[in-house]
Amino acid sequence: MTSLRRAWHTFRYGELMRRLEEWRYGWRWRYALEKLHERRAGAETMHDVSLAELGIEAKERIWYVPSEWMGLRRAIRSLHVTREDVFVDFGSGKGRALLIAAQFPFRRVIGVELAEQLTDLARRNLESARRRRCGEVELVTGDALAYEIPDDVTVAYLFCPFIGDVFHGVFERLLESFDRLPRPLRVVYNYPYEHRYLLSTGRVQVVDVHPDRWPPRSLTGPDVIVTYRVVPPGAAPEPVRSLGLRRAPVWLGPHEPGFRLGPR
Ligand SMILES: C[S@@+](CC[C@H](N)C(=O)[O-])C[C@H]1O[C@@H](n2cnc3c(N)ncnc32)[C@H](O)[C@@H]1O
């Protein structure tokens, strides 16, 4: 009995220490870094917002939580953006990903967001943004499922804004746009919950993997940004030459790293 109690105490003590370490080296650093980036960008995009709070909660929709500044910036940098490129963020929230994309020479940066309150905040953030290099910025309030995807979009960004049928529907719209006008089109997917579905369509190839944050977590876990290239139906798989993938080849196949939908 005594040894059982001791084992239980050791377990609880270990768990407590693990949490303390996590807080000390993880959360506090991340918070300080986030604050620094916010100040440099002249924006207010921190703090999660639940969809119940906004009165738009529904199955398959994910609440507002911003992308991490450094992770996304590195993923976009590896795309070698030119003036030909057009960026769309599905579920753009308070506009953090738009602010990051606006620091690259995109011809156009578009945000599609369901919650009007969040679009208003994004507009304010973009108006006061510093270090903008992109051309036009466009904000659309509405359901991503109903959004008419322009045929010049070349980068579709999703930070797990929705799952299931909504995700499948939006991806189908993207494929329709690609099939109408074949072009280099990349899907940049942060926390790629629907990775297996995307591969199962046979219409994407993985070209890169980046950690979603700095300091990074594992590249084989769920906290990654995967970049896919959209390919024509029946395209033969091409060999992938990517630095990122040398570290995370698991993402070339139907990887399932234990995604969890809940506070991260
Ligand atoms: C995880 S947040 C991503 C925020 C932003 N893209 C970023 O990276 O900082 C998901 C966002 O998707 C929005 N959303 C959820 N379902 C949506 C839908 N069907 N159409 C448009 N936006 C949606 C939510 O309101 C929320 O702001």
Antiparallel, parallel or unpaired: β 108-113 and 136-141: parallel
Q: Tell which wins on pLDDT, 77 or 131.
A: 77
Token output for 93: 């929230």
- The gap from C-alpha 244 to its chain's centroid, in whole angstroms, comes to 17
210 lines ligand 1 (CB under 6 A): no
Q: Band of the pLDDT at 24, cuts 50, 70, 90?
A: low
Are the C-beta atoms of 153 and 83 separated by less than 8 Å? no
* Angle ∠(54,60,61) on CA atoms, nearest 5: 30
Name the residue of 37, 62, 259 whose CB sits within 8 Å of the most ligand 1 atoms, as the mutation to test its pocket. Answer: 62
- Which pTM value belongs to this model? 0.90
- Ligand 1 atom nearest the C-alpha of 170 is 19
CA 250 to chain centroid: 19
103 lines ligand 1 (CB under 6 A): no
Q: Which of 113, 145, 212 to mutate to test the pocket of ligand 1 (most atoms within 8 A of CB)?
A: 113
**Which tens digit of pLDDT belongs to each residue from 25-52?**
566 777 888 888 988 888 999 989 999 9
Residues 201-209: what's their mean pLDDT?
Answer: 95
List the single range of 89-93, 97-101, 155-159, 234-238 with lowest mean pLDDT.
234-238
Tens of pLDDT, residues 89-113: 999 999 999 999 999 999 999 999 9
Does residue 240 surpass a pLDDT of 80?
no
Residue 241 has pLDDT above 80, yes or no: no
Q: Using CA atoms, how far apart are residues 158 and 97, in angstroms rounded to an integer?
A: 9
> Which strands sit side by side in the sheet containing 136-141, from one edge to the other?
136-141, 108-113, 86-90, 155-159, 186-190, 224-230, 204-211
Which of 65, 73, 171, 213, when mutated, tests ligand 1's pocket best, judged by the most ligand atoms within 8 Å of its CB?
65
Quickly state the pLDDT bin for 236 (edges 50, 70, 90): confident
CA 65–ligand 1 middle distance (angstroms): 8
Q: How confident is the model at residue 15 (pLDDT cuts 50, 70, 90)?
A: low
Tokens of 28: 């506090």
CA of 235 relative to ligand 1 center, distance in Å: 31
